[in-house]
Amino acid sequence: MQYANLGRTGLRVSRVCLGAACFGYVSGELFGDLGMTEEASFRLMDLALERGINFFDTADVYGWDQGIGLSESVIGRWFAQGGGRREKVVLATKVFHANSPQWPEETWPNQSGLSALHIRRACEDSLRRLGTDYIDLYQMHYIDRVTPWEEIWQAMEQLVREGKILYVGSSNFAGWHIAQANDVARARNLLGLVVEQCGYSLLSRNVEMEVLPACEAYGMGVVAYEPLAEGVLAGAFGKAKEGYRATQRVREIVERHRATLEAYEELCGELGEPPATVALAWLLSRTGVTAPVVGWRKPEHLEGAVHAAEVSLAPETLVRLDDLFPGPGPAPEAY
């Protein structure tokens, strides 16, 4: 496994990140039957460590309709088995949503957002579920347009001072939000944001307009979720022809990009690599991208991602991928 510094920090993380959104699920509205039992989640985390993956990503809200905090609780019970599990893992979780399955319909004021009160309560709850006394990377899950940055950074600074969090990151921020957050942090002599987690794949390249340039300007790492576009880039077109039953959403995406996906899978065949491997390798070739977040359900999926971190795509292959999936380019030209 290859490792990289997370943005401008000295923190070293694997070039592949284990996503834990569906840990503990058996079935539910969000993932259907794509979730993982607790036992299967344990096996996958053990395998991740065996393959050198030290970067795990979760959120306090993961659990959704089956109990907020479910994913964190599963990871906490896995840590409790000992064997140096906690010490080997760079643990990332998130704050913003209310710890209530009825959010936002049936919650009290101050149970969500990025107020100092909610940040502190949410952090304490995450620490309890995770069974640890510190979080390596605490990410703001969404922008809070109401709470001033001075209040947010005061709360984060206090948690850092207490040793409860080590680094602060963002998720789903616009480029302007990243600039605002970091400039206020600098004025307070703080490290500021060290990473942005955003949706990024061959099929979704809008972050190239402003988010990625902002991250590069402020020395931040980029962690990409949905790197396979909900499985569409993992060979969904070929599987559809073979009669594989995908979700309605995936079928719609495949139909909308049918010609492109057919050409993409033909290119992958020429390269002798699975489509998922090519999609992940392309992401890892992008400037500033630290790691894709991949939520595996089977050991072979994890092995494929580990292999992708070792694949170097030729320049002519990257050109062909750009031709198939053209990005918008940087702003303001892209507008």
Q: How confident is the model at residue 137 (pLDDT cuts 50, 70, 90)?
A: very high
The phi, psi pair for 57, rounded to 5°, reads -125, 130
Residue matched to tokens 């959010």: 103
The phi, psi pair for 86, rounded to 5°, reads -65, -40
The sign one gets for the Cα dihedral 26, 297, 48, 124 is negative
pLDDT (0 to 100) of residue 221: 97
| In a domain? residue 117 | yes
Domain with 195 in it: what CATH number? Answer: 3.20.20.100
Among 62, 142, 218, 225, the active-site one is 62
Residue 192 pLDDT greater than 60, yes or no: yes
d(CA 255, CA 264): 14
| pTM score of the predicted model | 0.91
d(CA 92, CA 85): 14
| In a domain? residue 329 | no
Residue matched to tokens 């760079």: 90
Q: Would residue 62 show up in a list of annotated catalytic residues for this protein?
A: yes
Q: What is the pLDDT of residues 44-64, one digit of tens each?
A: 999 999 999 999 999 998 886
Domain limits at 16? Answer: 3-232+276-323
| In a domain? residue 330 | no
Residue 174 pLDDT greater than 60, yes or no: yes
Give SS3 for 335. coil
d(CA 288, CA 223): 9
Q: How confident is the model at residue 189 (pLDDT cuts 50, 70, 90)?
A: very high
| In a domain? residue 271 | no
| In a domain? residue 139 | yes
Give the bridge partners for 195, in sequence order.
221
| In a domain? residue 265 | no
Query: 17-21, 153-157, 256-260: which has the minimum mean pLDDT?
Result: 256-260
Q: How many domains would you assign to the chain? A: 1
Q: Are 196 and 225 spatial neighbours (Cβ–Cβ below 8 Å)?
A: no
CA distances from 269 to 173, 258, 262, 265 (A): 36, 17, 11, 6
Please report the DSSP string for 257-316 in residue order.
THHHHHHHHHHHHHHTS-HHHHHHHHHHHSTTEEEEEE--SSHHHHHHHHHHTT----HH
| In a domain? residue 266 | no
Q: What is the CA radius of gyration of the chain?
A: 20
Q: What is the pLDDT of residues 194-247, one digit of tens each?
A: 999 999 999 999 999 999 999 999 999 999 999 999 888 988 766 655 556 566
| In a domain? residue 247 | no
